[in-house]
Chains A and B, each alone.
Chain A
Amino acid sequence: MQEGLVSERRAGRIPDQLLLLEHDPVFTLGRNARPDNVLLPADALRERGFEVFESGRGGDVTYHGPGQVVGYPILDLSPDRCDVHRYVRDLEEVMIRACADYGIEAGRVAGLTGTWVGPDKIGAIGVRIARWVTSHGFAFNVSTDLSAFDLIVPCGIRGRGVTSLERLLGRPLLLDEVMDRLASRFAEVLEREVASEERREGD
């Protein structure tokens, strides 16, 4: 679905998009994924209800599932934002500001892409770019089942943990509300305006 949107965006037939959604439990492997970062064989994972999927994005392996907002910005970065580092930092910034909205101080860790609260990662990033049109994007833990991350080495980074808004705040949160926050912070950081919104069920 993203590929279709990317070519539509590149052809200029649609404007920049931000898709925010929730996935069924799945482990995705990016282009740089090392197989030993998935700690159980695929069959075993499937038995436990997880799908395993190879993705065209950058980055190593990560988990998506209920309680996590996955954001797919389909943006044309040209002409003035043609800098992948900048784009990645911008995505981190979006999540940092969204955390701040909940009173949580999040930040970056030099050399480790993503949004961190202390030693734990709350937001992951994996982007694909074709002719400066972006796809894939970021994943933000709201009330994700964090035990799923025990089955992988997230993003290939050993020795660090993961966290979520719910864990940090000690209370449940509405995903819709967090999506709104992310959308508005996204518009702010990427200097765009939300022109219209659409909600869809299913996929």
Chain B
Amino acid sequence: MADVIMPQMGESIAEGTVTKWLKNVGDRVERDEPLFEISTDKVDAEIPSPAAGVLREIRVAPGATVAVNSVVAVIAPEADAAMSAPTPATAAPSAPPPPAPPEPSRTPPPTPATPPPAVPAPPFVAAPSATRLLAPPPVEYEIEGEPPPALPAPATPPAPAAEPPAATPLPAGTPRAEMTAEELRLTRSSPLVRRIAAEHQVDLRSISGTGIGGRVTKQDILGHIEHHSAAETATPPAAPAPAAAPVAPPRSPAPPPPPAAGTSAPAPGIPAGARVERTPMSAIRRKTAEHMVLSWHTSAHVSTVFEIDMTRVDQLREKHRATFEGRGVHLTYTPFILKAVVDALKEFPILNASVDGDHVVHHKDVNLGLAVALDWGLIVPVVHHADEKNVLGLARAVNDLADRARAKKLKVEEVQGGTFTVTNPGVFGSLFGTPIINQPQVAILDVGTIEKRPVVRDDAIAIRTMCYFALTFDHRLVDGADADRFMARVKQSLQEFDEAAL
């Protein structure tokens, strides 16, 4: 039996008046189907049914006012009591808003009609969770206590409001007993200093300390970092947001080892005596490297490529270019592409979701990340609520974010919270690539170079402006059919672009 209760429509509201029953006793009702209407002050609200079944009893007649949470009706499951699972009272005493992520704790609806299908075992070995993957071997860091804060696991569900989960320090490193007295002295700096060292992956032993007993003080380490990071980007390495890590262009993930300076220890695989130069990675490079490998091991990457005729978009660009310039907006292909992507994501929202263990996190907002290549690395600023913008709005947002990315004036929240990413290595001439997914998203779209090519139209050769679009998607969540339907929609949107969307 499911109790239907008077919902609370606001913090200070203690009662409600039933105005109308939309179903009669004996009627079948589906979960979430409108069941009755209530009124409070000047607001009339339609209340959906908390459960599926048959309306067994109406306890409050229209016109009557009852306290919030009192039972106004009862719903019985259709089948025998023996078959149905015990039904809870309505999950939430507050009014039934649709919560954004599906809550794992919500008990299933009482109707036994279709038992939940057995989840088939995945055909591949599930990737290890990120925290395990990133736990470094303690010996490497030799800093007593906390190793550097890990990138947060993609398993942590990103809240719809895009709040970054706190970085969790992993369990302790080298046990004290194994360190020499000297090492102990040098590494026993204040927790703040150790944390700064960890964040910047600095070995405290390499810094001469000016503190008591030769300890490394905060000034020592900050001075050391500044000295070594003059050329590095200002991106704060501790920013733990999953979407902050930039996406590399679609190249092989294993570049040849960079020439190294000085030290005698060569990179692995390089014969001793080879002329090498070792330099420490910049923070942005390091984060990119970590993210790429992590992503590769987390998602089941599959790519699909579509060829799209951009001739119509070309025409619209030409037609509206002057108007847009007049409004201070440079009109490129990008906003057209983003608009098509947004529309397709609304229609196929599975590509806008995330994976959390064995749950799917559906994001109500479409926040598009756009990979921007800067001189010093890659960054992915995010156009939040891209689904609420027309082409003009998107063009403005993109231009603004790109300008500020180059000027290093992006705010932290502007590189967080993305739900889908678009990357455009086509500007460098690539036909198409196989990009790596930007965790914890489940897809990334690669836009290749846009150029005129001979194609067949109506059995004749025509010259059209063509472009290859490659979508990499996470096969844990997205099947080929979903991905291809999504891409077909993007293709259709672009080839038949609706001028009204400008």
Whole-angstrom distance between the alpha carbons of A157 and B409 in the complex? 55
Assuming the A-B contacts A86-B10, A195-B388, are A78 and B42 also in contact, with contact meaning beta carbons closer than 8 angstroms in the complex? no
Closest to B391 in A: A196
From B94-102, B147-155, B429-437, B481-489, give the one contacting chain A.
Answer: B94-102
Whole-angstrom distance between the alpha carbons of A130 and B37 in the complex? 9
B44 touching A31 by the CB < 8 A rule?
A: yes
Report the minimum CB–CB distance from A40 to chain B (whole Å).
Answer: 24
Whole-angstrom distance between the alpha carbons of A78 and B100 in the complex? 9
Report the minimum CB–CB distance from B161 to chain A (whole Å).
Answer: 8
B40 interface residue (CB < 8 Å to A): yes
B39 touching A32 by the CB < 8 A rule?
A: yes
B48 interface residue (CB < 8 Å to A): yes
Report the minimum CB–CB distance from B48 to chain A (whole Å).
Answer: 6
Interface size class of A (residues with CB under 8 A): 20 to 34
Q: What are the residues of chain A within 8 A of B385 when measuring CB–CB?
A: 15, 195
B10 touching A85 by the CB < 8 A rule?
A: yes
B97 touching A129 by the CB < 8 A rule?
A: no
Whole-angstrom distance between the alpha carbons of A56 and B43 in the complex? 10
Q: What are the residues of chain B within 8 A of A85 when measuring CB–CB?
A: 9-13, 40-41
Report the minimum CB–CB distance from B294 to chain A (whole Å).
Answer: 30
Cβ 8 A contact of A31, one of B32, B39, B94: B39
Report the minimum CB–CB distance from A149 to chain B (whole Å).
Answer: 17
B364 interface residue (CB < 8 Å to A): yes
Assuming the A-B contacts A15-B385, A31-B19, are A130 and B34 also in contact, with contact meaning beta carbons closer than 8 angstroms in the complex? yes
Closest to B387 in A: A15
Report the minimum CB–CB distance from B386 to chain A (whole Å).
Answer: 10
Report the minimum CB–CB distance from A85 to chain B (whole Å).
Answer: 4
Q: Mark A12-41, 1 if CB is under 8 A from B, else 0.
A: 110110000000000000111000000000
B20 interface residue (CB < 8 Å to A): yes
Whole-angstrom distance between the alpha carbons of A27 and B44 in the complex? 18
Assuming the A-B contacts A82-B94, A82-B95, A84-B13, are A125 and B100 also in contact, with contact meaning beta carbons closer than 8 angstroms in the complex? no
Number of residue pairs across A and B with beta carbons under 8 Å? 107
Q: What are the residues of chain B within 8 A of A86 when measuring CB–CB?
A: 10-11
Whole-angstrom distance between the alpha carbons of A128 and B364 in the complex? 23
Report the minimum CB–CB distance from A151 to chain B (whole Å).
Answer: 21
A162 interface residue (CB < 8 Å to B): no
Report the minimum CB–CB distance from A112 to chain B (whole Å).
Answer: 10
Q: What are the residues of chain A within 8 A of B160 when measuring CB–CB?
A: 79
A196 touching B96 by the CB < 8 A rule?
A: no
Whole-angstrom distance between the alpha carbons of A82 and B10 in the complex? 7
A50 interface residue (CB < 8 Å to B): no
Q: What are the residues of chain B within 8 A of A113 when measuring CB–CB?
A: 41-42
B188 interface residue (CB < 8 Å to A): no
B393 touching A196 by the CB < 8 A rule?
A: yes
Whole-angstrom distance between the alpha carbons of A31 and B37 in the complex? 10
Q: What are the residues of chain A within 8 A of B12 when measuring CB–CB?
A: 85
Closest to B365 in A: A12
B37 touching A78 by the CB < 8 A rule?
A: no
Cβ 8 A contact of A84, one of B34, B40, B96, B393: B40
B330 interface residue (CB < 8 Å to A): no
A126 interface residue (CB < 8 Å to B): yes
Q: Mark A129-141, 1 if CB is under 8 A from B, else 0.
A: 1111000000000
Report the minimum CB–CB distance from B31 to chain A (whole Å).
Answer: 12
Report the minimum CB–CB distance from B395 to chain A (whole Å).
Answer: 13
A154 interface residue (CB < 8 Å to B): no
Q: What are the residues of chain A within 8 A of B19 when measuring CB–CB?
A: 31-32
Most chain B CB within 10 A, of A31, A84, A127, A128, is at: A84
Report the minimum CB–CB distance from A121 to chain B (whole Å).
Answer: 12
B43 touching A79 by the CB < 8 A rule?
A: no
B291 interface residue (CB < 8 Å to A): no
Q: What are the residues of chain A within 8 A of B100 when measuring CB–CB?
A: 78-79
Q: What are the residues of chain A within 8 A of B392 when measuring CB–CB?
A: 196
B39 touching A131 by the CB < 8 A rule?
A: no
Q: What are the residues of chain A within 8 A of B389 when measuring CB–CB?
A: 195-196
B96 touching A131 by the CB < 8 A rule?
A: yes
- List CB contacts (< 8 Å) of B1-37 with chain A: 9-13, 19-20, 32, 34, 37
Cβ 8 A contact of B10, one of A13, A84, A125, A126: A84
A58 interface residue (CB < 8 Å to B): yes
A88 interface residue (CB < 8 Å to B): yes
Whole-angstrom distance between the alpha carbons of A78 and B160 in the complex? 12
Q: What are the residues of chain B within 8 A of A32 when measuring CB–CB?
A: 19, 39, 44
A58 touching B41 by the CB < 8 A rule?
A: yes
Q: What are the residues of chain A within 8 A of B349 when measuring CB–CB?
A: 12
B10 touching A83 by the CB < 8 A rule?
A: yes
Most chain A CB within 10 A, of B44, B99, B364, B388, is at: B44
A59 touching B42 by the CB < 8 A rule?
A: yes
Q: What are the residues of chain B within 8 A of A13 when measuring CB–CB?
A: 346
Whole-angstrom distance between the alpha carbons of A30 and B364 in the complex? 32
Report the minimum CB–CB distance from A158 to chain B (whole Å).
Answer: 17
A64 interface residue (CB < 8 Å to B): no
Whole-angstrom distance between the alpha carbons of A13 and B32 in the complex? 19
Whole-angstrom distance between the alpha carbons of A32 and B98 in the complex? 27
Whole-angstrom distance between the alpha carbons of A15 and B390 in the complex? 11
Q: What are the residues of chain B within 8 A of A126 when measuring CB–CB?
A: 42, 44
- List CB contacts (< 8 Å) of A147-198 with chain B: 195-196
B44 touching A129 by the CB < 8 A rule?
A: yes
Whole-angstrom distance between the alpha carbons of A13 and B342 in the complex? 11
Which 6 residue pairs spanning A and B have beta carbons closest together?
A58-B44, A83-B10, A130-B46, A78-B97, A15-B388, A85-B10
Besides the known contacts A57-B42, A83-B10, 14 further A-B residue pairs in the complex with CB atoms under 8 A apart: A10-B98, A12-B349, A16-B388, A31-B39, A79-B97, A79-B99, A82-B94, A82-B97, A84-B9, A84-B10, A88-B41, A126-B44, A195-B388, A196-B392
Q: Which residues of chain A have a CB within 8 Å of any CB of chain B?
A: 10, 12-13, 15-16, 30-32, 56-59, 77-79, 82-88, 113, 125-132, 195-196
Q: Which residues of chain B have a CB within 8 Å of any CB of chain A?
A: 9-13, 19-20, 32, 34, 37, 39-46, 48, 94-100, 160, 346, 349, 364, 385, 387-390, 392-393
What are 14 pairs between A and B in contact, CB < 8 Å? A15-B388, A57-B42, A57-B44, A58-B43, A79-B160, A83-B9, A83-B11, A85-B13, A85-B41, A86-B11, A129-B43, A129-B45, A195-B388, A196-B389
